[in-house]
Structure 1
Amino acid sequence: MKNRNLLLLFSSLSAGAVDLSASESKTQFAEVGDHKIAYRSVGTGDPLILCSRFRANLDDWDPAFLDALAKKYKVITFNYKGLASSTGHPHSDILGFAKDVTDLADALKIKKFIVGGWSLGGWVAQIVTTEFPERVSHAILIGTKPPGKVNYPLEEIFLNTAYIPDYTVEHETILFFDPTSKISREAAIKSHERIAQRKDKDPKVKPELWEFYGKCHDDYEKDPYGARQKLMTTKIPILVISAHHEICFPPENWFELNQKLPTTQLIIIPQTGHGPHHQYPDMVVSYIDNFIQKIKYDQ
């Protein structure tokens, strides 16, 4: 009997010790009114909800980045309403995209969270931060731009590449890395291979739905919410991670606001492009973790 009890104890401990990696995490669905939000979760700790880029589904985060975050945080990725495996009709304004975050948090019974976003997801994260500040402890913005009109536009090569139906590693190198850097080109191949490891794939966002991202952009640029001004008065800590060769959202747009954003820190990583967290997942996570653990403001 004693040996049997020990065996059962060992089995239960072993089962509890086996955590799924980001490549193995299962797609789940949160009921939100008349639709479902598809999401995945990995890790334990303070909740960190990540908002995805243009055209991305659940598969388009580098698992090395998610797994590194998951060592200390409960990392939640999701699809916006009506896109990829989420059901319903897609949103036509940035506030709708932002409400997906709080709706998902409500469904998962998460009162307060860290919000992160990459590219278009960075716009969403900023609107979550400015419209629902009571829900956000920290904001992490990767490869993105501030609300309203900006003076430094994206490069034409990004637009010419971003709408290609199926990305190859060469397209990903242009879009998310620095093609002029050997280090970055090599990192693009490794990231592509890591993302390809997942076996159960999420549906892609259909091309006929891409227009909703454009509507979201127009709303974000018009900034009817006064989000740009709210960033100048917020007490929520904000970390912006950008790249020296950022062909989509040049960091110069943040430089112009440098003296006006009281809680925003900016990191520029050389020889990287639009996806620095895919090139240097561990390093970027160390920046994020140090920021979250060390930076607090009175709220």
Structure 2
Amino acid sequence: MTTATAITTPNQFVESNGRRIAYRSIGTGKPIVLCTRFRGNMDVWDPAFLDALAARGFQVITFDYSGLGLSTGEKDYSPVALAKDARDLIEALDLKSVVISGWSLGGLAAQVVVAMFPERLSHVVLIGTSPPGPNVKPAEQLFYDTAGKPVNSFEDEIILFFEPRSQASREAARRSADRIAQRTENRSVPVPADWAASVLGDKPKSPLFPADPILQALKATTLPILHVAGDHDIIFPVENWYALNQELPTVQLLTYPRAGHGPHHEHPEATAEHIATFVRSTS
């Protein structure tokens, strides 16, 4: 029997609260549910990162938010709505002791899951996202100018997710893009660019993510939390997490040098190994 990989695993669907949620699953073991980024669907994840997680004993689950990709229902980019998608998928699949994870916008959703629906969670892994509350370092205008384009070129993706000033990061961007392109059948549907741009806006704002009650939940939770970042994230600067040192008792911070908003795509194996070690060594 051939083991499914991130490239070959089929699309699956569950019905929950009047809509159909599309998801993919690879690997067996402890479930990790990944909430995707802005303008993301199941196909924006680097297969090397997903396969590396599966190889380390995780059941890796990606999904499309309501009304986007292959999922039905009303589309809504508010973190609360996205968190409800994750909660409903976890309940529909009857998952327990779940690692809730999210990249960028998905990281905001994952934090709402911690605050509102923590019952089935064991750990939290956040990637390139923002903590709640005012920012000590704002996002860069360059992100808004680039992310709002109807179509992003490869150079745009380097700007958005990698470190353009680093040749090593540029080379990693090419390898990641080539891996993502390997899935050619049964792909998800792109997020409508005009709708996404209208939600994003055209300039930085603070706070990007309202503080209460999410910040209070992070201060009170006993769930171990790992945040993975690059040292030059143009939308969610990692400095905003370091500003909360000694306020968030369970948060660990992993920061890659000369990396951007997609550190797990630049360092897929290393990030998967860090996540596995984090989950194995904390409770």
Name the counterpart of 1:83.
Answer: 68
- How many angstroms does 1:218 deviate by? 9.2
Given that 1:83 and 1:209 are in contact with CA atoms closer than 8 Å, whether structure 2 keeps it comes out as no
Distance 2:77 2:173 in 1: 32
Deviations 1:216-245 (A, max 9, x none): x9996234x511111111100000111111
Query: Could you tell me which of 243, 246, 267 is aligned with 2:254?
Result: 267
Name the counterpart of 2:217.
Answer: 230
Distance 2:120 2:62 in 1: 17
Deviations 1:137-166 (A, max 9, x none): 000001011112222111111111111222
The reply on whether 1:142 has 2:127 as its aligned counterpart is yes
Q: 1:135 to 1:219 in 2, by over 3 A?
A: farther
- How many angstroms does 1:136 deviate by? 1.0
Which amino acid in the other structure matches residue 238 of structure 2?
P
Distance 2:241 2:207 in 1: 19
Deviations 1:29-53 (A, max 9, x none): 1101211111111111011000000
Q: Once superposed, which parts of structure 1, at least 4 consecutive aligned residues long, lie more than 6 Å away?
A: 217-220
Which protein shows a greater Rg? Answer: 1
Q: 1:173 to 1:67 in 2, by over 3 A?
A: same
Given that 2:24 and 2:63 are in contact with CA atoms closer than 8 Å, whether structure 1 keeps it comes out as yes
Given that 2:230 and 2:238 are in contact with CA atoms closer than 8 Å, whether structure 1 keeps it comes out as yes
Name the counterpart of 1:166.
Answer: 151
- CA root-mean-square deviation: 1.8
> Percent of aligned pairs with the same residue?
46
Distance 2:59 2:210 in 1: 34
Name the counterpart of 2:49.
Answer: 65
Name the counterpart of 2:190.
Answer: 204
Distance 2:26 2:86 in 1: 17
Which amino acid in the other structure matches residue 205 of structure 1?
V
- How many angstroms does 1:182 deviate by? 0.6
TM-score normalised by length of structure 1? 0.89
Name the counterpart of 1:130.
Answer: 115
Structure 2: state its 5+ residue gaps.
none
Name the counterpart of 2:138.
Answer: 153
Deviations 1:37-83 (A, max 9, x none): 11111111011000000000110000000000011100000011111
Distance 1:271 1:176 in 2: 12
Deviations 1:86-141 (A, max 9, x none): 10112363212101111001111113310111000100111111211222100000
Query: Could you tell me which of 243, 247, 265 is aligned with 2:234?
Result: 247
Distance 1:173 1:211 in 2: 19
Which amino acid in the other structure matches residue 221 of structure 1?
F
Name the counterpart of 2:269.
Answer: 282
TM-score normalised by length of structure 2? 0.94
Given that 2:53 and 2:272 are in contact with CA atoms closer than 8 Å, whether structure 1 keeps it comes out as yes
Name the counterpart of 1:25.
Answer: 9
Distance 2:195 2:137 in 1: 27
**Number of equivalent positions:** 278
Distance 2:68 2:30 in 1: 27
Given that 2:36 and 2:103 are in contact with CA atoms closer than 8 Å, whether structure 1 keeps it comes out as yes
Given that 1:93 and 1:220 are in contact with CA atoms closer than 8 Å, whether structure 2 keeps it comes out as no
Deviates more, 1:160-169 or 1:31-40: 160-169
Q: 1:212 to 1:162 in 2, by over 3 A?
A: closer
Which amino acid in the other structure matches residue 15 of structure 2?
E
Query: Could you tell me which of 35, 58, 64 is aligned with 1:51?
Result: 35
Q: 1:187 to 1:119 in 2, by over 3 A?
A: same
Structure 1: state its 5+ residue gaps.
1-14
Distance 1:293 1:276 in 2: 21
Q: Secondary structure at the match of 1:239?
A: strand
